Amino acid sequence: MRILVTGKNGQLGRSIQKIVNTDTKIDNNQNSNEFIFVGREDLDLSSESNINHYFINNKFDIIINCAAYTLVDKADEEAELATQVNHLAVKQLASIANKQQARLIHISTDYVFDGESGKPYTETDTPNPINVYGRTKLTGEKALQTVMPMNALIIRTSWLYSEYGNNFVSTMLRLGREQDELRVVNDQIGSPTYATDLADTILEIIKHKKFKDVGQTSQIYHYSNEGGISWHEFAKEIFKIEKVDCKVNPIKTQQYPTPATRPRNTLMNKDKIVKVFNIKISNWKLSLNTCMTILRQRQ
């Protein structure tokens, strides 16, 4: 099996590479699998012709699309680029996957929802994105499902963090060490997701018998770590684990205006992925501890 992973320099792409390069179980069980990791320099999703050109001489059995335009607050001013990468390129990848008879795993977001539901979102709940990023991700999902009604899988995730790049955990650690007090919003609720856990889940799925069966209707799945918290609680736990002496003051979203509006409550119901692929989901605190242990060892 030739497996293409896009977004090799992003949080999820790097987390998949970390597991593939270190997990001997994968070598032993999947020694017929060849992973090819590509970044923007190899496959530029902002260019239709570059995408077509790349796939002329490159054929795959599975494409895992971890690349995306993820700058939520900049997406408004770069709407055209965000649309190209999150919508049009996904549509094009789906059409190429069809031609190559490849399976496509695409990553989407909890930000396709408006956050106004009183209960965790299921895959059949109606999306209603409230910012440009969420809208481009939703149109990407829809285009994928139209072009590829079979053999594709969309995984919506939320609040992704990792030991790589800039994310909430690295930002809080930096700010917490610089300042005595921080203000963090406590009225947006979601589930943090350690990118390594999502990477593990994707690798579990591609090994699963149900994924290997061809000719299945394309499906959406929700995946995050277990538990729902606010950004304020998340920051407090980061400082507690790392013993950072910084007071975290809860504030409301109106007190911290951002260019893009964020949904208030995007907890997702994960029963479907657990049931279909027998996925074990780790609690957010446990996974945060794992990530922070790795970060500490690096210092």
Ligand X SMILES: NC(=O)c1ccc[n+]([C@@H]2O[C@H](COP(=O)([O-])OP(=O)(O)OC[C@H]3O[C@@H](n4cnc5c(N)ncnc54)[C@H](OP(=O)(O)O)[C@@H]3O)[C@@H](O)[C@H]2O)c1
Residue 70 makes contact with ligand X by CB under 6 A = yes
Q: Which entry of 111, 133, 221, 223 is annotated as an active-site residue?
A: 133
User: Which range touches ligand X (CB under 6 A), out of 52-60, 62-70, 245-253, 282-290?
Assistant: 62-70
- CA 191, CA 229: separation in Å to the nearest integer? 6
Are the C-beta atoms of residues 63 and 103 closer than 8 Å to each other?
A: yes
Are the C-beta atoms of residues 159 and 12 closer than 8 Å to each other?
A: no
Residue 12 makes contact with ligand X by CB under 6 A = yes
Residue 46 makes contact with ligand X by CB under 6 A = yes
Residues between 23 and 42 with contacts to ligand X, criterion CB under 6 A: 39-40
Over the Cα atoms of the chain, what is R_g?
19
- CA 146, CA 129: separation in Å to the nearest integer? 19
Residue 44 makes contact with ligand X by CB under 6 A = yes
Residues between 73 and 102 with contacts to ligand X, criterion CB under 6 A: 85
H-run or E-run covering 38: strand 34-38
Report, in Å, the least distance between residue 80 CB and ligand X: 12
Instruction: Kindly state the tokens that stand for 127.
Output: 């999306």
Q: In the annotation, is 69 catalytic? A: no
Residue 165 makes contact with ligand X by CB under 6 A = yes
What phi, psi does 105 have (nearest 5°)? -110, 120
- CA 34, CA 4: separation in Å to the nearest integer? 8
User: Which range touches ligand X (CB under 6 A), out of 20-28, 114-122, 156-164, 169-177?
Assistant: 156-164
Binding residue for ligand X, selected from 35, 37, 55, 159, defined by CB under 6 A? 159
CA torsion sign for 116, 121, 124, 130 is positive
CA torsion sign for 159, 164, 167, 173 is positive
Report, in Å, the least distance between residue 215 CB and ligand X: 26
Report, in Å, the least distance between residue 41 CB and ligand X: 7
CA dihedral 113, 79, 195, 163 (to 10 degrees): -130
User: Which range touches ligand X (CB under 6 A), out of 17-25, 43-51, 232-240, 258-266?
Assistant: 43-51
Q: Interface residues with ligand X (CB under 6 A)?
A: 7, 9-13, 39-40, 44-46, 66-70, 85, 107, 109-110, 137, 157-160, 165
Residues with catalytic roles: 133
